């Protein structure tokens, strides 16, 4: 028996609980019958405000971290403008989309999801792609990602997803990484995540630059025209420079060499006048076609193949000004998918419905006040008049004695706007259903589009997905989790699962161990809605592959080229290459064994930008070795050979003038260099413009992916 002192000391300690063999409850101790579905008006209806379980769960989640964002903490942003190129008044009454040439100021923020503010830019992760439009009708926020779908179907599971991918709570490891047990434990029990996993394990999750990644609104939204007619819409941002990525080994090394790689890339491009640009496209689905396809438009784990609904370009966004103060602008900007203008409205997507509640609550916690809209970066350019008053950090000085509506003392002002006067009105959608915690049967296909995505990739891209899964699952310590994942992968593609299994030293299970399903019967967690595969009406979609979608106008604008030099280098070759690169908007940087200058063959001196100890080939897009004296010194330098070897392994373009080819021959992979390798550009005429042009033409292809087959097979 413990004595009184023991009891007293015990009472001073915080309660501890591991939840083993316990019922799931609310914070008030109420046992939860269904933790997988929010309360909706019908299985495809809107989420209900009375869902106190969802509100408690998300409220607690939103307030878990201060002051940095719980998700998307690591980011960077810039100012710019959006210009309409193809007005769509027949689809929407949104004022900023009515007139060709009309420009709207914007601020865009890009980010990783899982890592803290101090994490690396090059983590394998989804990238946030959020744009605030400062329109004359109020602020409109298009808050999306660089992947068109998401891991989960219902907002109720978002806290669980992020808890699973964040560092494990007992030791706060690993940072900004999904390659650990808790993440894959969650995913292996959530078959609805399999489509997103294909994207996250592809090269989409390690982009070359913020400027070279697509953006998506993720959810299906509505456009409403002046007649009150509604269309469903999907939003797409398509980068002018094309969609490009790095390889995983390169991402790891970039993280070590420059964890601010993406931030610096965006900043330097804008400072140099190479303004990032994207086209905004829309996919329009008429209201009457809501149930036309084999997938559900309200399911955020599904996309609409462009073969079924082409993307129509309606405008362009250009980012042309860096922030003056990173904290005041990039950190304090507050996005919200509920910030809309007349002509843009929501659907009953259950993930979107939860976000509409969550974002304001998050900003209250992170920015500390209901007046976060008064921070300069968040202020509307449209006049703001309402009866909200006071609160922490209030800046607006409201005059007069009236702060309520209706009123007579203030003449009824501020007064309500009619729809014809720009007043916002929600789409008049009929809702007539029972209150349920259920999910529509049309959400049950968890493998069909995962299969579509994998089938749409080139052999190179498929190989990268296999290697990514081997790496991620190879970090998982629990055998049962790996086996469940192999079972799920076999439902996507049997060959994929078998190749991943070889890397894990395992065998694909003959029978799929049915994970937890989130179906129509909450009486037991297994439910009676089995995950299934619905045959896609599109078997392969070229738009889902980066390699199949090079930019319409190949360009090397803003690319960086490492020019490897030593004393005695050909001044003509170096200066000609730098001049021609600059003409195309690219930049040549002089890399040498030492800082200072290198002497040239004409007794001149060229300033050195980086020594080998201060940089790495992973920070450059291509490599050039000019002709010159003392090439044997470079060929015998281990740093030079490592620089070259990495560039070759990462499928980059390598150019060499005349006798500089002797340096290439010192690489360990020299025997593997093929005469058919379009990324090895050689010249017997040192410094010629023809050679420089051939080199830049090869660079415009981004990477020579065919080289991987020669390297690893």
Query: Per the structure block, which two tokens stand in for 424?
Result: 């916002």
Token couple for 71 = 């998700």
Question: What are the C-alpha distances in Å from 388 to residues 51, 365, 384, 391?
Answer: 26, 18, 10, 9
- Helix, strand or coil for residue 441? helix
* C-alpha span between 584 and 576 (Å, rounded): 13
Token pair listed for 186: 């969650």
- The 10 Å Cβ neighbour count of residue 403 is 13
DSSP secondary structure string, 545-577? -STT---SS---TT-EEEEE--TTB-HHHHHHH
Quick one: the chain helix, strand, coil %, rounded to 5?
30, 15, 50
Place of tokens 């560039």: 647
Beta bridge partners of 112: 127
d(CA 34, CA 14): 29
Task: Give the pair of three-digit tokens for residue 391.
Answer: 């609160």
Cis peptide before 490 (omega within 30 of 0): no
Number of C-beta neighbours around residue 489 at 10 A: 29
Work out whether strand 610-611 and strand 587-592 pair parallel, antiparallel, or are unpaired: parallel
The C-alpha angle with vertex 687 and arms to 685 and 690, in degrees rounded to 5, equals 70
DSSP symbol at 412: T
Query: Pairing state of beta strands 587-592 and 560-564?
Result: parallel
534 Cβ contact list (under 8 Å, min separation 6): 294, 295, 445, 448
Residue in 318, 376, 427 with CA at minimum distance from that of residue 80: 318
Q: Residue with structure tokens 């195309």?
A: 584
Contacts of 451 (CB under 8 A, 6+ apart): 492, 493, 533, 536
Give, in order, the Cα–Cα distances in Å from 531 to each of 202, 278, 649, 681.
23, 37, 40, 51
Element (H, E) at 216: strand 215-216
The catalytic site residues sit at 72, 145
Whether omega for the bond prior to residue 414 falls within 30 degrees of 0, making it cis, is yes
Report the alpha-carbon distance of residue 410 to residue 408 in Å, rounded: 5
Instruction: Name the residue among 155, 711, 267, 185 with its Cα closest to residue 480.
Output: 185
DSSP state for residue 374 in the 8-state scheme: G
* Cβ(508)–Cβ(502) below 8 Å: no
Q: Please name the residue ranges forming H helices in 507-666.
A: 571-583, 631-635, 638-649, 661-664
């Amino acid at each position: 028996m413990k004595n009184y002192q023991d009891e007293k000391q015990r009472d001073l300690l915080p309660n501890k609980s591991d939840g083993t063999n316990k019922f799931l409850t609310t914070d008030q101790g109420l046992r939860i019958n269904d933790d997988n579905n929010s309360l909706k008006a019908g299985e495809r209806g809107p989420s209900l405000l009375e869902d106190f379980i969802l509100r408690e769960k998300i409220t607690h989640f939103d307030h878990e971290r201060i002051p940095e964002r719980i998700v998307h903490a690591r980011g960077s942003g810039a100012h710019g403008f959006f210009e309409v190129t193809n007005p769509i008044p027949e689809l929407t009454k949104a004022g900023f989309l009515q007139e060709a040439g009309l420009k709207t100021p914007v601020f865009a923020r890009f980010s990783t999801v899982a890592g803290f503010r101090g994490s690396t830019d090059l983590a394998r992760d989804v990238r946030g792609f959020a744009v605030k439009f400062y329109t004359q009708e109020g602020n409109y926020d298009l808050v999306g990602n660089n992947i068109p779908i998401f891991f989960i179907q219902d907002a109720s599971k978002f806290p669980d997803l992020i808890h699973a991918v964040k560092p494990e709570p007992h030791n706060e490891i690993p940072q900004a990484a999904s390659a650990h047990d808790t993440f894959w434990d969650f995913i292996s029990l959530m078959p609805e995540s399999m489509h997103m996993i294909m994207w996250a394990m592809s090269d989409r999750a390690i982009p070359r630059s913020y400027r070279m990644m697509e953006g998506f609104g993720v959810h299906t939204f509505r456009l409403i025209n002046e007649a009150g007619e509604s269309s469903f819409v999907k939003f797409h941002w398509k980068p002018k420079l094309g969609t490009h990525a790095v390889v995983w080994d390169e991402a790891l090394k970039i993280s070590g060499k420059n964890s601010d790689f993406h931030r610096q890339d965006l900043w330097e491009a804008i400072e140099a006048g190479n303004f990032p640009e994207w086209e905004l496209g829309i996919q329009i689905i008429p209201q009457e076609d809501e149930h036309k396809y084999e997938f559900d438009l309200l399911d955020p784990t599904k996309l609409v193949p462009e073969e079924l609904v082409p993307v129509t370009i309606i405008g362009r966004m250009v980012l042309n000004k860096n922030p003056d103060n990173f904290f005041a602008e990039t950190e304090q900007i507050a996005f919200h998918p509920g910030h809309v203008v007349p002509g843009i409205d929501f659907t009953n997507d259950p993930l979107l419905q939860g976000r509409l509640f969550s974002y304001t609550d998050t900003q209250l916690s992170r920015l500390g006040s209901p007046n976060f809209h008064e921070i300069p970066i968040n202020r509307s350019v449209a006049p703001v008049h309402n009866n909200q008053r006071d609160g922490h950090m209030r800046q607006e000085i409201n005059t007069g004695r009236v702060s309520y509506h209706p009123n007579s003392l203030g003449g009824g002002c501020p007064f309500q706007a009619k729809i014809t006067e720009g007043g916002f009105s929600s789409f008049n959608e009929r809702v007539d259903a029972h209150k349920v915690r259920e999910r529509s049967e049309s959400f049950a296909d968890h493998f069909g589009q995962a299969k579509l995505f994998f089938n749409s990739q080139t052999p190179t891209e498929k190989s990268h997905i296999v290697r990514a899964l081997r790496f991620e699952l190879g970090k998982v310590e629990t055998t049962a989790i790996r086996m469940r994942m192999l079972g799920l992968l076999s439902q996507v593609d049997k060959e994929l699962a078998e190749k991943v299994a070889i890397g894990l030293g395992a065998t694909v299970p003959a029978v799929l161990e049915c994970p937890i399903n989130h179906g129509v019967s909450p009486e037991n967690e297994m439910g009676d809605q089995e995950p299934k595969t619905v045959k896609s009406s599109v078997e392969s979609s070229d738009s889902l592959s980066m390699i199949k979608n090079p930019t319409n106008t190949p360009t090397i604008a803003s690319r960086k080229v490492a020019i490897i030099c030593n004393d005695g280098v050909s001044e003509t070759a170096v200066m000609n290459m730098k001049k021609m690169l600059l003409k195309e908007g690219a930049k040549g940087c002089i890399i040498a064994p030492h800082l200072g200058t290198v002497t040239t063959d004409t007794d001149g001196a060229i300033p050195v930008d980086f020594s080998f100890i201060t940089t790495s080939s992973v920070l450059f897009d291509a490599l050039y070795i000019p002709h010159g004296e003392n090439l044997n010194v470079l060929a015998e330098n281990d740093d030079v050979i490592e620089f070259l070897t990495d560039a070759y392994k990462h499928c980059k373009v390598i150019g060499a003038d005349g006798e500089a080819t002797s340096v290439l021959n010192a690489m360990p992979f020299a025997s593997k260099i093929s005469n058919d390798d379009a990324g090895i550009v050689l010249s017997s005429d040192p410094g010629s413009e023809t050679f420089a042009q051939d080199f830049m033409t090869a660079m415009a292809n981004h990477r020579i992916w065919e080289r991987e087959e020669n390297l690893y097979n």
